[in-house]
Structure 1
Amino acid sequence: MTAESFVQPIATMATVVDRKSPLPAWAQVERDLRALIDQKLEIGSRLPTENELASIYGVSRITVRQALSGLADHGYVERRQGTGTFVADRPRLVQHDFGLMTPWRDRFRAAGETAASVHLQDSAVENEPYELSRELPVAERETERLHKKRLHMVNGRAIGLTDSWLAGRAVAAVRDIPLIEASVSKTLEAVGLVPTRVEHFLEVRSVNSSESTLLQAGLGSQVFADWSIGRIDGELIETSRTVWLGSRVRFHYATGLHGAQTLRAE
């Protein structure tokens, strides 16, 4: 394959950097190349040189180098000394089924994966966000909360981040004890507080700066944000926000013959 043949497809499909965008130029280039790799480019394909990419996107070589570094960090490309940058064979997307009652870590371990959550005990305490509090009656918004933050990992890679705000009986029950396997749900179960109903609200957005750091993801990365409200016979026990990194998790949604629904993250 000639050098020109590596350049032409990218040049045809690339989206030029928007100078008016608040997103840094390197992040725009990284995002665009990531999309091209996901949708168009085959594993093993060689990318244009830094000079060629700089010309295609209208940016400096330093900007291109930063974008390629981010892609390499996330497993999208492999940089080979003296030969160039190639599309990497990325690890498969993580599979996670919300429709099952078994905790996600246990399902992964049963499948031979290494799955764990880390309780970020030194993280700053965060107030319950408006996206959750607006779904609650005024009286419940004013009750005490206990904040817990956990980072979720599979095979050593961060895939998600959960903030929980415990309420009601859960505050006193959990305040002075360590989380079992860094899991709020397992800890609540151990003290006899298992929600009988959990509502979920799902949306897609970009990571914020804190999430970008903890998930080791670029600022342009997309996440699935799952907001939930858990109750025991109507009594508020927990609200939470979980963000799943879109480049490492995907969702599957199905309906059965009688309208049964399953929402699965893969």
Structure 2
Amino acid sequence: MDLPLKQRVAVVTGASSGLGLHFAKVLAAQGAAVALMARRVERMQDAVGEIRAAGGRAEAFALDVADVAAIGPALDQAQAALGPLSIMINNAGVGGEGLALEVSQAVFDDTFAVNVRGVLFGAREAARRMLDNGEAAAGHARILNIASIGAHSILPGLAIYCASKAAVAQMTRVLAREWARQDIAVNALCPGYIETELNAHWFASEGGQKQLKGWPRRRLMDAEDLDAALLMLTGPGARHITGSVITLDDGQTL
């Protein structure tokens, strides 16, 4: 079977759980060698073992994307272990919950440090390496930023989170424009609500169930619902796609 991502190396941040962990497994199944990165290395070891058992290549690396100085060295470690970086998935994120009249400055700072600063410098450090290692010149360079429907929809009690994801969406467009002539494709996904560690407690509550029943299809999405877009934007099909911010929400925002 011809695997579209064979001989590609992908980095996925926030890969210890949720969407990041799922993305890493999907990319590996399509042939990519995958560097899983997160603060909790031990939580990624089972996934690394699973990928290797299926015949793939994977390594786990410790990285807190809020520590900008650590991003470049982590990418260098990934390249040394797996080969030239082709694909960067900036997935690491935090919730930024709190009503505007009550939320602390610390929550604001922590949210933007991960959701915005971590994405910008993750993209920049990846782009530098893609330019240096020849993957951009070969037309293989892909950067995918994970935003949210909060980038363009009002989510009460999540003003800081929404602001951070709106920043990611606009940042994606600007980076795509800056790097267009270097053949680095930069795109973003805005997923709807998928049950993860960040929101499971909410959707188990009465308020969460009320919110769910207010959506046209009255259901949460599954992580697998993002797979087709993920593979399109990280694979050969993205050769002529850049600067796109794609919403996948099962109609939740209709």
TM-score class normalised by the smaller sequence: under 0.3
Query: Is the helix fraction higher in 1 or 2?
Result: 2
TM-score, length basis structure 2: 0.26
